[in-house]
Amino acid sequence: MPKYVIEREIPNAGKLTSDQLKSISQASCGVLNQLGTQIQWVNSYITNDKLYCIYIAPNEEMVYEHAKLGGFPANSVNQVTGIIDPTTAE
């Protein structure tokens, strides 16, 4: 199943408290439960003003539906076409 990187513009994301992050995570998981097992949240990376979330889903539309139902921004959704790491150089 395809993997996606979702860019979410959230001002001051890097300053969110543990309680705020927990609330956001709970909201996301609640929507995922509604949508069923076809979509999965892998993890997210927090920067100063953005979240970069990794999801596995059958299509881009389902990723956008998750964002819509959860009230989350999804400023861009990009399908991962490959992964490289230091072992790629070997």
Say what the pTM is: 0.92
Q: Where are the domains of the chain?
A: 3-82
The SS3 assignment for 69 reads helix
> What pLDDT does 19 receive?
97
CA 50 to chain centroid, in Å, comes to 11
Span 55-83, average pLDDT: 97
Span 55-75, average pLDDT: 97
Domain boundaries 3-82, corresponding CATH code: 3.30.70.3090
> What pLDDT does 11 receive?
95
CA distance 72 to 67: 5
**Distance (Å) of CA 40 to CA 47, 78, 87:** 22, 15, 27
Q: What is the pLDDT of residues 2-48, one digit of tens each?
A: 999 999 999 999 999 999 999 999 999 999 999 999 999 999 999 99
